[in-house]
A and B are shown apart, each in its own frame.
Chain A
Amino acid sequence: MISGPRRRLAALAALITLGLGAAAAHAAAPTPFTRLMGLFAARRHGEVTFLARTYARGLTRPLVSSGVLGYRAPDHLEQHTLKPVPSALIVDGERLTVRRGGHTRRLDLRDYPDIAIYVDAMRDTLAGRGARLQRLFAVGFTGTLAHWQLTLTPLRSDAHVRQIRLAGAAADIRSIEILAPHGARTLMRIGPPPAS
């Protein structure tokens, strides 16, 4: 036999359960961010040109460089700077290859946590791995699918990268900005695929 207060309690429990269910249903509705991730996941590879400007205290004008950025799902990322001095950063899984001034160094990405933050931000976005992005960064999404901004703030307290900001239209990234301490930053404008 169920007494009065008990019955009320049971009703309350049912209400809470229902409420939770509603909350779950709400969470399941795709947010613009998850839809954006879905668009990226559908893209398997891509190659674009970039024009980067680096600002830092003491510089009378930004340092300008340009080159080609390439991605192949799920884990391959290449950034080739062609001007003014050729250099390259190639990541495949956890293997990191750095080419600079005629030297090629093969490294393990896990040994270079700051490069890993940049690489993770790029690769997880391009592969549409929203959940993993949210594990590594505080993710901020503003705008619409047609015109969005994504701010990725590393959750690791010892990270030197302050923030990475991406902006774009649907599955096309238009700009990438990397913020370092003391106001130093690099802004990369993404252009069309290379002509070749």
Chain B
Amino acid sequence: MKGRAALWVWAGLAGLAALIVARARYSADLSAFLPRAPSERERLLIEQLRNGVASRLLIVAIGGADSATRARLSRSLAGALRADGQFAAVENGSAATERRDGAFLFAHRYLLSPAVTRQRFSVAGLHAAISHTLALIASPGGVLAAPSLASDPTGEMLAVLGTLGGSRAPRRAAGVWVSRHGREALLLARTRAAGSDTDAQARAIGAIRTAFARAAALAHAHATLQLTGPGVFAVAARARIKRAVMRLSLLSGVLILTLLALTYRSLAALGLALVPVASGALAGVAAVALRFGVVQGVTLGFGVTLIGEAVDYSIYLFIQSRTAAAAAGADWTRTAWPTVRLGMLTSVCGFAALLPSAFPGLAQLGLYSLAGVLAAGLTTRFVLPRLLPARFAVRDLRPLGARAGRLLRRGRAARALLVVVVALAAAVVLYAHRGHLWNRELSALSPVPQAAQRLDARLRAALGAPGGGELVVLSAPGRQAALRAAEQASAALSALVERGVLGGFQSPSLYLPSRALQRRRQHALPPPAVLRRRLRRALAGLPLTPASLAPFVRAVALARSAPPIRRADLAGTSFATAVDGLLVREGPHWDALLPLRAPRSGHIDLGRVRAGLAVSAPARATVLDLKRQANALYATYLAGAVRYSLAGLAAIALLLAVALRSPVRMLRVVLPLALAVLTVAAGLLACGVRLTLLHVIGMLLIVAVGSNYALFFERGSSDPPLTLASLLIANAATVLGFGVLAFSSVPVLRDLGQTVAPGAWLALVFAGLLAREPPAPAPG
């Protein structure tokens, strides 16, 4: 009766979980690798990374063929993409855009030039400015500035270009942008969709590829296309994670099934072995969906590991009880279940330590595994025995157990020596690597390959597009206030450029000065009659007449009464994208972003930048080094993971102490696990691997999984060969499950696999070697 009830409860819960799993949302984007940021400032930064204008930029590089063909392809690709509604802006440095840029700067030179002051338009100021322009025209190459002499004798256009010089323009060849070495034509496309909208990014990337293929086919050109940008990374990572999850699940599933098929030689047993696994997986995914709303693709990838753990319970049941005879089943429940239960609880303790992790991916892994292990264990205990057919029996594995037992007994002769040697060797390796145990770069966890990151950095530098470098962030309650703050900061930064602390910087205020500053410049311009009068005196001794400068007087008069430049006036120029990327709305307030460029030394002294800003910029300026910031964040998470893992270990130790009630018995369980963890850590370091967050988590899992083995050895068994055989098969399943992960191209999965697979095996071997000498095996 009671058994029937358990079946009903199980079936009901499984149905419910299946419903939740079917309706859950799944995501395979990069957010599992972006830490949840603790502070408001960092939250904004991450939000900016995910949805800001920078996240919408796709950089296209056209290689191969010759310079003229690449330029032609760049032009036809830009034309095709401009006609595509998915893109808000497409730039390739075409002559048309450059002309529009130049025309915009020239038309608004008196509102943009930092040199426009009352002093400059006095008689002495005009004389000095015009003399300077004439000297410039007479210098080598200066003739190119001569055509605009009549309309711009004070050289405001040059002053404007001087301020923009800090944001190095991309190189051009054959009329389009090219990379630094000139072997690729470059194109910048901005999508309408946010960078975090991976589906839209995938569509945009597809549109670029299709348009390029068509253009290349029409031109009969053998050219290559390279794409980079946050959207490209997100799409590639998603594909990579999906592929990895599919392949890994399939591969480890097949491997473990093959192992079980060879072990049981019974189809019924094979099918039943999957019942706890499937129950665990359902429960795990359902729990994650309920708690987090979205299930990360990586969680499913980690979930492969659960197969290795959940399948163990049915292995213990089937092999150790051998038959489904009611007596045998009850016997297993009485003798072996308490050991399995304790092992299960230690695993739960280990996984629970992941729950507070700041990485959504890890927190999900913890919950998934915790729920999965519990469900699998309880299913094995309460459901599986009732499902066994009446004449169920698996192959007798005593011979395997007996053979392994003999090996272990031989090994036990030297176990004291072994412990000392292994512990010493591991300690020596750890000590030798003490300075660089940890990989402290957040990018170590990124699923974006190093080569792709390098390509991105190179193309970004060629286009002068802000990357993940140093920048100044100014927050203000409004757009105009943010621009005014950017102007004050720009003045301070210009001084730093003069002193060589900086190579240059970008600011939205260079293209779009605040209304206040524009008005101030307008007020500095004299009315036409006054200007004409001053020019008459200012031109004394210079080869110019007031009449010849009539275009200048007209331009100044026009600028005096012109409406201020607004964002809409930038349309069609390449400055529109720049301003949108550098002046962003964050809820109720605005952020001005001023990316910094390193001086010749290649290094920016942020301390001097902060000091320089503190003097002349009263607005709240934050100087950020995005890469260092991200790594600092990661370092705190690494420290957190180590702390949580230690807490998990302490919980496991407490659990064992309560259950075993003896320090000696506890030592016998803990020592082999500690040795396994030490050996794996030393092994990884000796192989040149630097430890990441995931290695730490892996070590926790070694303890969680390995405690099962150690407990079985410690508690002893009425049938040691049979118990040992079940442990061997269970261990093989775990090693297969994690071993497959070790070959993944996704770093988080790989790090976990390469820690747990060898660790679980070592835990079994050390537990077997350090176990109490069992009584002589029973004959037969």
Contact = CB atoms under 8 A, between A and B. Distances in A.
Interface stretch (A38-46, A142-150, A178-186): A178-186
Contact of B141 (A114, A183, A184): A114
A57 to B, nearest CB: 5
A: contact size bracket: 35 or more
Nearest to B170: A111
Contact of A61 (B95, B140, B169, B543): B543
A51 B136 CA distance: 16
Contact of B138 (A63, A156, A178, A180): A63
Given A63-B134, A81-B138, A110-B182, A57 B175 contact: no
Nearest to A64: B138
Contact of A180 (B147, B172, B182): B147
A113 interface: yes
B254 interface: no
Interface stretch (A15-23, A29-37, A157-165, A167-175): A157-165
Contact of B543 (A60, A106, A158, A182): A60
Contacts of A139: none
Nearest to A155: B174
Given A65-B139, A100-B139, A156-B174, A161 B543 contact: no
A178 B144 CA distance: 9
Contact of A85 (B138, B169, B172): B138
The size class of the interface chain B forms with chain A is 20 to 34
Interface in A54-109: 54-65, 79, 81, 84-85, 87-89, 100, 106
A89 B137 CA distance: 13
A180 B182 CA distance: 26
A185 B143 contact: yes
A52 B138 CA distance: 8
B206 interface: no
A111 B142 CA distance: 16
B143 A58 contact: no
B667 interface: no
Nearest to B182: A110
B647 interface: no
A81 B140 contact: yes
Contact of B143 (A100, A157, A180): A180
Contacts of A158: 95, 98, 172, 175
B144 A180 contact: yes
Contacts of A65: 138-139
Contacts of B543: 59-63
B658 interface: no
A182 B151 CA distance: 12
Given A59-B149, A63-B134, A118 B141 contact: yes
A113 B171 CA distance: 9
A56 B149 contact: yes
A133 interface: no
B549 interface: yes
Interface in B138-169: 138-144, 146-147, 149-150, 153, 168-169
Nearest to A88: B140
A181 B146 CA distance: 9
Contacts of A180: 143-144, 146-147
Contacts of B146: 54-56, 180, 184, 186
B172 to A, nearest CB: 6
Contacts of B98: 158
A114 B153 CA distance: 21
A111 B169 contact: yes
A22 B149 CA distance: 54
Nearest to B545: A60
B135 interface: yes
A186 B149 CA distance: 14
A14 B135 CA distance: 65
B557 interface: no
B548 A58 contact: yes
Contacts of B134: 63
B730 to A, nearest CB: 65
Contacts of A115: 141
Interface string B509-522: 00000000000000
B705 to A, nearest CB: 58
Given A57-B149, A58-B149, A60-B548, A84 B140 contact: no
Most buried by B among A62, A63, A110: A63
A178 B139 CA distance: 13
A54 B171 CA distance: 29
A157 B141 CA distance: 19
From B144, B149, B150, B172, name the one whose CB has the most chain A CB atoms within 10 angstroms.
B144
Contact of A58 (B138, B182, B544): B544
B140 A79 contact: yes
Contact of B171 (A59, A61, A111): A111
Interface of A: 52, 54-65, 79, 81, 84-85, 87-89, 100, 106, 110-111, 113-115, 118, 156-158, 160-161, 178, 180-186
Interface of B: 95, 98, 134-144, 146-147, 149-150, 153, 168-169, 171-172, 174-175, 182, 543-545, 548-549, 600
13 contacts: A56-B146, A56-B150, A57-B149, A60-B545, A62-B543, A63-B134, A64-B138, A100-B139, A158-B95, A158-B175, A180-B143, A184-B149, A186-B146
